[in-house]
């Protein structure tokens, strides 16, 4: 057993030195990619089958992942990886299709809105074509349909509808009997993503009550208001799912709290980085020891552990860079860190931390 472990570590080290890859199965990827990009082993390749324009700034990409991909649950995300101007980039997107599409046809969909100034979303909209291949990670996330079935309220804004589409399609196919209400906020009626799919769901699935609310079509903006929640029967008994811009989510949380909905009933997911907590920079920073890399690095201010590692030339695994995907999680063996999203301070002992949202507070030792 010891020899086997030692040999594996040696193979990983050799692969990293020669080809900058941790996975021995991926050593031949540069050759495989030139012959057939669907043979790549470092990530799960997925071929673009179709591209569908949803609105002026939103497209749905229909993908066929390699058969070794493990699938997903409705409401989960994936990281996609692709080369943009010769640099490998990774971003997190929600799956918008039901897992039933993957199970029956081997396909998935990502519905992606172009973001002003967004490097990856602009590249996907302008450069990705049918027949191209991009990379996928395995799916992750706990924004999931409750089991057993419970009454639900969804509040979505703009492209925040994407993981909710996956859940609605899944529940309708499985004849989810508990009442489901969707309040979907868009700027104008021209900005409704998957209008036909939503309308068809509401027509064939009696449990669903659908409201599409345009915020910018009248002289005064029309935001979520208390009367919207008042119209939801049995609100206090519902599980509430939120996905959308921060302003909508903050407003929803405030109104739900005033109506007596418990925090434990509310489930949120983000398609943009959550706001950071206000941290006292004077109390942050310290020496970070990366034990496996045999490296000590000093830090000051609110730089996170991932930024510190990368500045020191390390390349730890990561994904979304905003505390959602947990791809960068690693073991802290000692020291204290502060979560830059919540402001929560960790204990001083051994625990799992996320590199991308953890800021050292004094000396920290990591198994990296």
Split at pLDDT 50, 70, 90, the class of 3 is very low
Q: Flag whether pLDDT at 10 surpasses 90.
A: no
Q: Flag whether pLDDT at 128 surpasses 70.
A: yes
Q: What is the pLDDT of residue 218?
A: 87
Split at pLDDT 50, 70, 90, the class of 273 is low
Distances (CA, A) of 322 to 177, 215, 326, 366: 35, 28, 9, 19
Q: Would you say 37 and 101 are in contact if contact means Cβ atoms under 8 Å apart?
A: no
In this prediction, residues 110-119 reach a mean pLDDT of: 91
Q: Does this chain's domain 43-141 share its CATH topology with 281-366? A: no
Q: What is the pLDDT of residues 134-159, one digit of tens each?
A: 999 999 888 999 999 999 999 999 99
Q: What is the pLDDT of residue 23?
A: 53
Q: Flag whether pLDDT at 211 surpasses 90.
A: yes
Q: Flag whether pLDDT at 31 surpasses 80.
A: no
User: Would you tell me which CATH number, out of the four given (3.10.20.30, 3.40.50.2300, 3.10.129.10, 3.90.45.10), belongs to the domain 281-366?
Assistant: 3.10.20.30
Q: Would you say 30 and 88 are in contact if contact means Cβ atoms under 8 Å apart?
A: no
User: Which pTM was predicted?
Assistant: 0.75
**ω into 90 cis (within 30 of 0):** no
What does the block give as tokens for 163? 């993981």
Q: Rounded to whole angstroms, how far apart are CA atoms 12 and 32?
A: 19
Q: What is the pLDDT of residue 102?
A: 97
Split at pLDDT 50, 70, 90, the class of 274 is low
For the chain, what's the residue count?
368
Split at pLDDT 50, 70, 90, the class of 165 is very high
Region of residue 19 (phi > 0: left; psi between -120 and 50: alpha; otherwise: beta): alpha
Q: Flag whether pLDDT at 30 surpasses 60.
A: no
The percent of residues in the chain predicted with pLDDT above 70, rounded, is 85
Q: Where are the domains of the chain?
A: 1-36, 43-141, 152-269, 281-366
Q: Would you say 289 and 309 are in contact if contact means Cβ atoms under 8 Å apart?
A: no
- Lowest mean pLDDT across 5-14, 257-266, 344-353: 5-14
Distances (CA, A) of 128 to 51, 97, 120: 9, 19, 10
Burial of 72 (0-12, 13-18, 19+ CB in 10 A): buried
Q: What is the pLDDT of residue 37?
A: 62
Q: What is the pLDDT of residue 19?
A: 44
List, in order, residues 6 or more apart from 251 with CB less than 8 Å away: 223, 224
Q: What is the pLDDT of residues 34-81, one digit of tens each?
A: 555 655 657 789 999 999 999 999 999 999 999 999 999 999 999 898
Q: Flag whether pLDDT at 333 surpasses 50.
A: yes
Q: Would you say 75 and 162 are in contact if contact means Cβ atoms under 8 Å apart?
A: no
* CA torsion, ordered 274, 277, 278, 282, to nearest 10 deg: -110
Sheet with strand 329-339: strands edge to edge? 295-297, 288-290, 358-366, 329-339, 351-354
Q: Would you say 112 and 160 are in contact if contact means Cβ atoms under 8 Å apart?
A: no
- Assigned architecture for domain 152-269: 3-Layer(aba) Sandwich (3.40)
What does the block give as tokens for 96? 């918008």
Sheet with strand 87-94: strands edge to edge? 87-94, 77-84, 133-136, 44-55, 58-65, 108-113
Q: What is the pLDDT of residue 248?
A: 93
In this prediction, residues 17-24 reach a mean pLDDT of: 47
In this prediction, residues 127-134 reach a mean pLDDT of: 95
Q: What is the mean pLDDT of the chain?
A: 86
Q: Tell me, what DSSP letter sits at residue 274?
A: P
User: Would you tell me which CATH number, out of the four given (2.40.30.10, 1.10.10.60, 1.10.10.2840, 3.30.1490.100), belongs to the domain 43-141?
Assistant: 2.40.30.10
- Lowest mean pLDDT across 23-27, 72-76, 78-82, 318-322: 23-27
End-to-end CA distance of the chain: 23
Q: Flag whether pLDDT at 111 surpasses 80.
A: yes
In this structure, the strands spanning 133-136 and 77-84 are antiparallel
Strands (E), the chain: 44-55, 58-65, 77-84, 87-94, 108-113, 133-136, 152-157, 180-186, 208-214, 239-243, 266-269, 288-290, 295-297, 329-339, 351-354, 358-366
Q: Rounded to whole angstroms, how far apart are CA atoms 297 and 293?
A: 11
Q: Rounded to whole angstroms, how far apart are CA atoms 134 and 65?
A: 9
Q: What is the pLDDT of residue 35?
A: 52
């Amino acid at each position: 057993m010891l020899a086997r472990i030692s040999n594996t570590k040696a193979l990983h080290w050799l692969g990293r030195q020669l080809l900058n890859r941790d996975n021995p199965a991926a050593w031949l990827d540069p050759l495989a990619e030139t012959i057939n990009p669907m043979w790549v082993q470092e990530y799960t390749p997925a071929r673009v089958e179709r591209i569908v324009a949803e609105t002026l700034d939103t497209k749905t990409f229909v993908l066929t992942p390699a058969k070794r991909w493990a699938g997903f649950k409705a409401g989960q995300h994936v990281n996609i990886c692709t080369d943009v101007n010769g640099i490998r980039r990774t971003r997190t997107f929600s799956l918008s299709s039901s897992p039933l599409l993957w199970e029956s046809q081997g396909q998935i969909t990502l519905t992606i809105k172009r973001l002003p100034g967004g490097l990856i979303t602009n590249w996907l909209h302008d450069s990705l074509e049918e027949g191209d291949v991009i990379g996928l990670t395995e799916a992750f996330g706990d924004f999931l349909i409750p089991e057993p079935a419970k009454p639900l309220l969804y509040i979505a804004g703009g492209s925040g509808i994407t993981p909710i589409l996956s859940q609605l399609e899944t529940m309708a196919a499985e004849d989810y009997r508990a009442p489901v209400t969707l309040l979907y906020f868009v700027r104008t009626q021209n900005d409704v993503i998957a209008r036909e799919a939503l309308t068809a769901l509401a027509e064939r699935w009696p449990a669903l009550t659908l409201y599409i609310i345009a915020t910018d079509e009248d002289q005064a903006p029309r935001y979520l208001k208390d009367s919207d929640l008042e119209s939801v029967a049995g609100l206090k008994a519902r599980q509430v799912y939120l996905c959308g811009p921060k302003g909508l989510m903050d407003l929803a949380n405030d109104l739900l709290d005033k109506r007596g909905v418990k925090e434990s009933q509310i489930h949120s997911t983000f398609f943009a980085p959550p706001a950071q907590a206000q941290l006292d920079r004077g109390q942050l920073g310290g020496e970070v020891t990366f034990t496996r890399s045999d490296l000590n690095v000093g830090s000051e201010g609110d730089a996170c552990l991932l930024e510190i590692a990368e500045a020191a030339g390390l390349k730890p695994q990561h994904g979304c860079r905003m505390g959602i995907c947990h791809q960068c999680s690693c073991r802290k063996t000692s020291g204290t860190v502060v979560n830059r999203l919540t402001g929560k301070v960790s204990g001083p002992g051994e625990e799992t931390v996320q590199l991308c949202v953890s800021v050292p507070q004094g000396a920290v030792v990591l198994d990296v």
